[in-house]
Structure 1
Amino acid sequence: MRLGFDAKRLFHNATGLGNYSRTLLANLRAAHPELECFLYSPKSSENAFALPFREDSGYVVRTATGWAAPLWRSFGVTRQLRRDGVKLYHGLSHELPYGLHRGGISSVVTIHDLIYRRHPEWYPTVDRWIYDRKVHHACREADRIIAISEHTQRDLVEFYGAPSERIDVVYQSCDPLFYTEADPAFPADALTRYALPADFFLFVGSLTPRKNLPLILDAYLQLPPADRLPLLIVGRGTRYRDRLMAEARYRPLHPLLRWIDDLDDNRHLRQLYRRARAVLYPSHYEGFGLPVAEALLSRTAVVTSTVSSLPEAGGPGALLVDPNRPEEMAAALHRLLHDNALRDRLISAGHAYAHARFGAAATTEALMESYRRALETR
């Protein structure tokens, strides 16, 4: 059977939606090599992360011809899908092209989050309007809607009136290396490059207000000095970082903060997870919370928020804190520093939970079931 996929993010996004697209397709092809996968993108790319999809004969790449690239993705690609004999098209990032139903092509769309509806104050008006139009069209036209968490499913019902019986919850999987038990030595140059302390807490995420890094810093200020482990902060956002560091109340913490904004190798990231005392992820809102799942798979305890999808991502491997109460974060850090039995329980339970819920086998089978349901509606 021939399946089509919106591959713009796969070819051009190094993280986020790009990782979601690449992992989903790699897992799908590994489990079902009989499928023919057609990848549609306004243009291809020479990015190293997309190389396997350009070189594997199991993928056919189609790019825009004769159309302005942005218009082709929404309007021109349907004609190409019909020529290719595609039976089902999967929009991997919130949107579907027009005309699929008229062409007799079944459709599935993945909705990752509705942050722009839940927190409109975080987005410019024009961006909110564009996102809303695309998601509204996709939810109306898709034969099946994939939500990457139960929380996103509830948001779809609340904000768009999407019928819950047409929504399938299919969790996001992680890079395959996070599921291996092998623990290769950290390269010596990486140890020097990151200046790793012997013991540390770890934050992974873009440096934006939504990720809520100030909660961690405010919690540190409430801890006794002996409990203030170095904090490694992995993520990009120089402007926001500089703004935080300019605040007088955080100056006593400057010697404890290690900033890493150039990490682009998941092998190094996994080693950071495995060496950390715990991963701290007190975000105000997430559609899923990939760093939480990655940390659990790396056998690391997690402290995350009580809100949105994060309790789903953390399961029994996480301590949950109110993202607006630094005293709760401080208490969680103190417990992880002084209660090794608790930390061991979190690590064991979290690792088993993440393998069962976010593993390639479980997520790919749920994906295939969504495809079967979509095809049955045609």
Structure 2
Amino acid sequence: MTEHVVSSRSRGFLFLDSHPAGCARLVQDMWQAVPEPAPDGRTDEAPVALVIGSSAGYGLAATIAGLARAGIRGIGVSFERAPGRRTATAGWYRTATTAELAAKAGRDFVFLNGDAFSDEMKDQVADLLEQRFDGRLDHLVYSVAAPRRTDPDTGVTYASVLKPIGETYRTKTLVFDSEGSPEVTTVETGPAEGDDIEQTVAVMGGTDWARWIDHLAGRDLLAQGFATVALTYIGSPLTAAIYRQGTIGAAKAHLEQTARDLNDRLAKEVGGRALTSVNGAAVTQSSTAIPGIALYVGLLRGVLDDAMVPPIAQLTQLWDQLTGTAPLDVDDEGRVRLDTWELTPAVQEAVAERWQTATTDTISTLAALDWFTTRVQQLYGFAVPGIDYTAPVETDVPWPHHAT
């Protein structure tokens, strides 16, 4: 037994440990938030799905919503650190609980831990699909956020950067001092240089998504009518210079072009389709690293309060569209739009007005700071109602086992 009290020590928005019981409760709450499916999906004919990036953020929401709402079978892939000198990563504990809930619901779902960018992982997934899931795949959800990617063909490692394109970017941002008091400061980010754009596109664009499709199609594993979707974000004009018009935006544009190319190909090969799903703003481990995003999300919550749509509700809508429970709703560029609640003119005008007047003195009246800080802590399993953080907890939780 390796029970001990886990404390919430952090450096800014990055926590040093994760709390297993808190992570478990959050996954349970997400599962409970998914409406019961109309048909019973617990049959051998349940759709087979692959979720790449299944342990955090929108990928976790896609996994839970797919299991609870669409009754999927299949595989989730993520890259998490096992428990050792420190606790495991939060995604490790979230995966363990997701696997328990899937088993209780009768879903045959396997979780693999490793580098999704590698051909070894692609081979492992393809082998499992052949041996366990009738050699067919109905859906692939791609939700990978990583700082680096190694090209399996060349061995070259690319690193993504968060930079504007063309000129230096100055923006307000939200930080918290050592006492936890909020501060609105200004940060400056220099423009992309050299091959920054190409490097970022190589990591966060559509190259690996297309490689997954190539790999699985090469093994003849794509079912007739196969559908794949990559999760993405557009966001507000307030953050566009660093996000949609910056290096990350270049990668997102590449992802969307990849979707169009894949869509043409899949339509011909298997009567299938490829889409991007534009999701709304949320507090995630990746979003908190982007300058200005913390301030924007806090202000957005201040405007919308409970009308802000959580990831699990958005991904429930997506699965309904993918499985035909609801009509597929795409924009003029072929993107599923789950962010319309965020980008209405009235909401954006209200957020922009608060942004202009936000200072350290006024921020507590303009942004939902308690909500935001709670959500950041919950990324690591802390600040979860009903959890006794003074009690020892088992941290040596095993990765979900699957019978061969």
TM-score, normalisation: structure 2: 0.35
Structure with the bigger RCO (C-alpha within 8 Å, sep 6+) is 2
TM-score, normalisation: structure 1: 0.37
